[in-house]
Amino acid sequence: MKYFLSLGSNVRNKKENLRRALFLLKKEGAKILRASSLYKTQPVDFYCQPWFLNQVVEIEADCSPHALLDLIKQIEEKMKRQPTVQNGPRRIDIDILLAEKTIIQTKKLIIPHPRMEIRNFVLVPLMEIAPEIMHPLLKEKIRDLWKKSQDCSIVKRIQQTTDYEWENSSKDKRQDY
């Protein structure tokens, strides 16, 4: 199944945290199909914290959305994500945005991700790699959702991600996570 994931970090080496998360996803069998540029983004809801580095990736994984969520939680734990205040600082945050046309609404998992259509830190990188993808509930393209977004938070592209960067993220030497 194909998925779109949002990755974010605003603690320590943010770029390394995103790269490490991609490495761990690949190590567990996820195939990275597309990756957005890296974006520096203004915090939303909880403003007194460092700015984030965000990215959206499209992956293919031979697992259910619930199994992918379990894998994501394991990766966040392995990377020592510490619980803080809601929407507070974090070393890594990985969210499932979309799972093809799947709609899931359980206590544990909601797909499409709630509020993705009103969050520029999700819409801008997603629009970069998949502007024509339809939101399965709203029946609108990502490009159109971004145009309608009233989110005024700053989202600035800081580095275009090359295929080389994420294809070769498996050359990981660090074992201290």
* CATH number where 99 lies: 3.30.70.560
Tell me if 126 sits within 8 A of 142, measured CB to CB.
yes
What do you get for the CA distance between the two ends of the chain, in Å? Answer: 28
Mean per-residue pLDDT for 151-156? 96
Specify whether 163 is catalytic.
no
Evaluate whether residue 175 is within a structural domain. Answer: no
Average pLDDT, the chain: 91
29 has a pLDDT exceeding 50: yes
Mean per-residue pLDDT for 156-163? 80
Among residues 19, 20, 91, 93, the one annotated as catalytic is 93
Evaluate whether residue 177 is within a structural domain. Answer: no
Evaluate whether residue 173 is within a structural domain. Answer: no
Mean per-residue pLDDT for 124-137? 98
The proportion of the chain whose per-residue pLDDT surpasses 90, expressed as a percent, equals 82
Q: CA 2 to CA 121: how far, in whole Å?
A: 21
Evaluate whether residue 136 is within a structural domain. Answer: yes
Specify the DSSP class assigned to residue 134: B
Evaluate whether residue 79 is within a structural domain. Answer: yes
The domain of 92 spans 2-167
Q: CA 100 to CA 172: how far, in whole Å?
A: 30
Specify whether 45 is catalytic.
no
- What does the pLDDT read at residue 71? 98
Q: pLDDT band for 177, please (50, 70, 90 cuts).
A: very low
Q: CA 12 to CA 164: how far, in whole Å?
A: 24
What is the identity of the amino acid at 6? S
Specify whether 95 is catalytic.
yes
Among residues 90, 91, 119, 151, the one annotated as catalytic is 90
Rounded to the nearest 5°, which phi and psi values hold at 13? Answer: -85, 95
Evaluate whether residue 134 is within a structural domain. Answer: yes
Evaluate whether residue 174 is within a structural domain. Answer: no
What is the identity of the amino acid at 133? I
Mean per-residue pLDDT for 148-168? 79
Evaluate whether residue 35 is within a structural domain. Answer: yes
What is the number of structural domains in the chain? Answer: 1
169 has a pLDDT exceeding 70: no
Among residues 81, 91, 119, 151, the one annotated as catalytic is 81
Among residues 19, 91, 95, 151, the one annotated as catalytic is 95
Specify whether 176 is catalytic.
no
What are 12's two structure tokens? 């320590």
Phi-psi category of 64—alpha, beta or left, where left has phi over 0 and alpha has psi -120 to 50? beta
